[in-house]
Structure 1
């Protein structure tokens, strides 16, 4: 994953509008990639979509790996004895698989809204 020039403005917009946790940026090339992943992960949690096509592709990659990342953060916190961080990471790791069903539930509810289940 790398930061492309056409993505920079979209990343800045996402960072300003979506990121509740501050994103550190020391200024190296590797930190730009870390910043991009951090911003895209926070955008995924906030259910925001980027506008740039390459960022949309990278967002799909983040979506596929968000659950693994949350479980990994949980394991690190448990091994280091950080109880509060482990609790938050555990909650986050339980929630990430449920995000896949949000669109499905909305579609299902909108399709059965007009159907009466009982004869009156």
Structure 2
């Protein structure tokens, strides 16, 4: 299969993660927040599986520690709904932090600096 398809699925899953985080933080009802939580989990799983498939199929395993950092960022995005539900941070701050994390993960994936 063409690697561009995997890249497309990876990007769509990243949009799903960030969009669902916004819905979890700012959603008006519990029913919509529950759907957003399900979307968040499915998108995170898809993001991880497709990302690891691309790393191993393109033989990028020995290309540096950038992809290890991306897994740590993935874990941070996975914890974000818990922070939103417990109101540890304001919704605007949490969404902003998650957008910065997603931007840094994009930078790591594109430029592989280390």
Q: Give the TM bin, normalised by the shorter chain.
A: 0.3 to 0.5
Normalized per residue, the structure richer in helix is: 2
Give the number of the structure with larger relative contact order, counting CA–CA contacts within 8 Å between residues 6 or more apart: 2
Largest Rg, 1 or 2: 1
TM-score by length of 2: 0.38
TM-score by length of 1: 0.37
